Structure 1
Amino acid sequence: MLQDSYISNQKTLYEVLSVSEDATYDEIRVAYKSAALSTHPDKAQTILKSFESSSEQHGFFGVQEAWEILRHPKSRGEYDKQLQSSRQSIEIIASDIEIDDMTVENSADGVELLYACRCGDYFSITSCELGEMGILVGEDGEIELQAPDSVSTSVVLGCGSCSLKARLVINKT
């Protein structure tokens, strides 16, 4: 089970290993090996090994914890969900909306869903962006298919002009 402390810290597990959040397993493995060598108490270049600082050992244990979670698809998925949730919860959300509340515009790039902001601009999301989340949207704006493991999903949308944000809640029907 993942602990909230992984997410509340300043550095994410991805930052601990110096990889992007969309890194492949191989990229994570290579970064782990490099970070483990540079932070391991027996391998690190220290003048007085008997007086190692606790921050060096904490660094190695942080690298080890990051690897243990990010190397397994299931634990990585859980971590990613918690990370996304923690990021969304710290943002001030102006309103919660659903796909049915949004207007649909068809374009050459697919479907764009829009919701009017009080400043006059729009919150928007495209069918391509929803597709990356495992949600397929038809030309009429109706959900055609949603990933089987997600009962409900939400994504925070920013306004095109102001700093307001809206949470798009997508419930599986």
Structure 2
Amino acid sequence: MSQSNAESISQPNSSSELSHYEVLQVAPNANFDEIRKSYQSLALRLHPDKMPNSKGSFDRDSVTIDFVRIDEAWKVLRDVDSRRVYDAELMQRTFREEYFVNENLTGNDFQLHEGKDYRYHVCRCGGLYVLPEGLTSGDKCYLSCDECSLVVEMA
């Protein structure tokens, strides 16, 4: 990995921060093995203890921040449930325009996942609409199914 790729992890992406997928340099539809391989490769290259001791070619603080971001991204994306919640939150942040709404839902239409801290509604395809954390009852948002292209409005 070149120094410019390593630096790109700590640089914000225009108006928002890099997603966990961008940090790990994988596609959002990457499977577990692809994410794991990318994490391992980046962690080996950017681990602060693996960097040269001279101050000439890199900034140790930046490398440490990059390594921490890589580790945080891995911790979220390696777990199926935390990745599902993250994907729902990421999707909510990226909605910028009106979408065709398949169904209008309220907070009462969502069930609490047993043993987990998220609420969901089952799509007609069998996928899930997952409520982003911190959403209050009066908030309006659009949710995309994690399996198909259907969108619902939650108000």
Structure 2 unaligned blocks of 5 or more: 1-14, 104-121, 132-141, 145-149
**Change over 3 Å in CA distance of 1:25–1:9 after alignment to 2:** same
1:99-157 C-alpha deviation (Å, 9 max, x unpaired): 48xxxxxxxxxxxxxxxxxxxxxxxxxxxxxxxxx85xxxxxxxxx34374488645xx
Q: Counterpart of 1:84? A: 91
CA distance in 2, matches of 1:46, 1:14: 30
Q: CA RMSD in A?
A: 3.3
* 1:14 and 2:21 correspond: yes
CA distance in 2, matches of 1:48, 1:15: 27
C-alpha deviation, 1:169, in angstroms: 2.7
Q: Counterpart of 2:152? A: 169
C-alpha deviation, 1:25, in angstroms: 0.3
- Corresponding letter in the other structure for 1:35: L
Q: Counterpart of 2:63? A: 56
Counterpart of 2:48 in 1: which secondary structure? coil
Q: 1:147 aligns with which of 113, 122, 126?
A: 126
Identify, as 1 or 2, the structure richer in strand.
1
Residue 100 of structure 2 contacts residue 151 of structure 2 at CA under 8 Å; is this kept in 1? yes
Alignment of 1:20-169 (within 5 A): 20-48=27-55, 52-88=59-95, 91-93=96-98, 98-99=101-102, 135=123, 145-147=124-126, 149-150=128-129, 154-155=143-144, 168-169=151-152
C-alpha deviation, 1:168, in angstroms: 4.8
Residue 36 of structure 1 contacts residue 60 of structure 1 at CA under 8 Å; is this kept in 2? yes
TM-score of the superposed pair, with normalisation by structure 1: 0.50
1:71-98 C-alpha deviation (Å, 9 max, x unpaired): 000000010000000101xx143xx754
Residue 37 of structure 1 contacts residue 44 of structure 1 at CA under 8 Å; is this kept in 2? no
Residue 130 of structure 2 contacts residue 143 of structure 2 at CA under 8 Å; is this kept in 1? no
Counting aligned pairs with the same residue, the percent is: 32
TM-score of the superposed pair, with normalisation by structure 2: 0.56
- Corresponding letter in the other structure for 1:37: L
Counterpart of 1:42 in 2: which secondary structure? helix
Residue 99 of structure 1 contacts residue 168 of structure 1 at CA under 8 Å; is this kept in 2? yes
CA distance in 1, matches of 2:127, 2:18: 31
CA distance in 1, matches of 2:78, 2:54: 33
- Corresponding letter in the other structure for 2:152: V
CA distance in 2, matches of 1:13, 1:22: 12
Q: Which fold has the larger relative contact order, with Cα–Cα distance below 8 Å and residues 6 or more apart in sequence?
A: 2
- Corresponding letter in the other structure for 1:74: D
